[in-house]
Amino acid sequence: MSGRPLPRSRLDALVPSLLTGQALVSLVPATGDHTWAAGAAWDVARAAAQGDRRVALVDLWLERPTLHEVVGLSPAEGIVDAFEYDVSLTKAAHEVDRVFFIAAGTVTAHAGDLFANPRWRKLHGGFRSEDALLLLYLSAGALARLSTVPDGLIVLSADGYEPESSIGQGITAAMERGIPLLGVVRERWTPLATAGPDPRAVAPPPGRISAATRPGVGAGASHRRARPVVIAATLAAGTAGGWALLVRGAEHRAPTPPARAAPAPRPAAPPQPRVDSLAWTVQLAAYARLDRALALADRLTADGITPFVTPVTLGPRRGGTVWYRVLAGGYRTRDSAVAVRAALWSRRLAQRGQGDVLRAPYSYAVSGTTSADDLRAHGIPALARDRDGRLLVGAFETPEQAGVLEARLKRAGVRGTLVTRMGTTP
């Protein structure tokens, strides 16, 4: 295995100098432990943001975004919405531990187009002109499709990676493309094969960096109190001009008296998955017309697949346009959903390559004598029933995403309860 070892416990000391002069760096997991990789990505970002440099972290693992879970966020919009729907990222950018975080956002069926978008080259140049750092968390396959060539690559793997593996070959292909491998973040590193474990190499809990080694907490931190709009303006415009204006404004504030460094607050624990929920599903399509979505859902029903049609809004900048996602089934694990997607391909119920696996554990349950046909007449796409006989409507990633459906239920005078799909109220 090649690449400079970066023990996770020493990122504070190693990362700032390693990323000096870099404007865009890709963080590529080379492990099946996505929870560990997401925590390591946050550690890299926090370490890079120790000084006065502004750092943005973007979750481009679109098939299975996890970065928001590390810090306990439930974002509704993110980078997909900015690229596909022209949504402003002012509200989507969250400042966490001095890192401006942009989530993946809405599930997309056009991930390849997003990676190939020429805006990435503009963003790259904008961050370079402002001596800022853009960190992209993505797979080796997605990196190969990115329209710009990052200044560097950091691999995330607790035990290192093998160049002969499929991920290793993807990393090698990235290096052949001209992307230098800056290092490999590992859980720990033993300098010599005969030496015992380095006592300094014990990693902190996921999502944390030792506050004792963080410089600049106190007086220096007063110069970096920029709002999330700083990064949002950079991403939305494709250049860093708006950022520069905001930063200059921040630098002219009255200085804050020096304060003694205080331990960084422990980030919120990531939300635990509900064990009683059939959380995973496969999105096959999205339509602007409900009748088209229901037609596909009815075909799935005829072939023995339980469908969900989910109305979601694209946001105010798109005039509040509602699209209808067609989702196939509810499954306990992601692997089960992936297997069902493969079965859909083999049965030619979906084209090969079609279908995004996502976690959408919430549905609205409607009790009483209201029929599915009555609900459909009010634009409420009820299709399936739970084990208690209630009609289920939609499958949502977050409770907030169900706002469109909640409003339609109220207008129709229908009482619904937001539940996880085994019938438990969240």
CB-CB contact of 210 with 180 (8 Å): no
pLDDT of residue 61: 92
| Coarse DSSP helix, strand, coil percentages of the chain, rounded to the nearest 5 percent | 35, 20, 45
pLDDT of residue 39: 95
Contacts of 75 (CB under 8 A, 6+ apart): 68, 92, 94, 103, 105
pLDDT of residue 150: 94
pLDDT of residue 423: 57
Residues in the chain: 426
pLDDT of residue 286: 85
DSSP-derived pairing of the beta strands 24-29 and 55-59: unpaired
Contacts of 248 (CB under 8 A, 6+ apart): none
How far is it, in rounded angstroms, from Cα 412 to Cα 421? Answer: 23
Domains and CATH numbers, the chain: 5-251 (3.40.50.300), 280-420 (no CATH)
| Helix axes 119-129 and 229-237, enclosed angle (nearest 10) | 130
The candidate with the shortest Cα–Cα distance to 311, out of 402, 411, 375, 178, is: 402
Global pTM reads 0.51
Dihedral of CA 181/187/193/195: which sign? Answer: positive
Residues of the chain with pLDDT below 70 are: 1-3, 75-76, 87-91, 164, 189-276, 314-320, 384, 386-388, 422-426
pLDDT of residue 164: 67
